[in-house]
Structure 1
Amino acid sequence: MGDARGALASSSSVAPRQRAVLALRYFESLTDSEIADVLAISAGAVRSTASRALGALRLIYTEDEK
């Protein structure tokens, strides 16, 4: 899991809010509602932010494999 944390922390292609959402979701195991409360955004914004962040990371790592 250390590699995943390092990859997320060092990725400049992922916006700070996107990193926060992913960290809270996957490393702190918070629900979308809990993340929304922490970040003062809606649960829908949490879901869309997480989706965009995962898409950005997917692009980064699939390009690295080429």
Structure 2
Amino acid sequence: MSTCKCFDEMNARLKPHNAQITHGFAISEGLSRLRLTYYVQTEKLDASVRSKKPPLVVMSHCPFCGAPLDETE
């Protein structure tokens, strides 16, 4: 993981909404190879609390090159 504090900061902002960011890798088998997919999603901190779904987290920059994403797409 990087040395930045982005995930910690986002989790602090999501905590009042009973949510946190989770991330990891999913491995699936294709026709002739394995596929590795990185994912980022939000989930409830306390599933026993009845509330709305966790808020979405939308990226404003490409996670690969850092270029700003066009909001009109």
TM-score (norm 1): 0.33
Q: Which has the higher contact order (CA 8 A, sep 6+)?
A: 1
Which is greater in Rg?
2
| Structure with higher helix content | 1
From the two aligned structures, give the one with the greater strand fraction.
Answer: 2
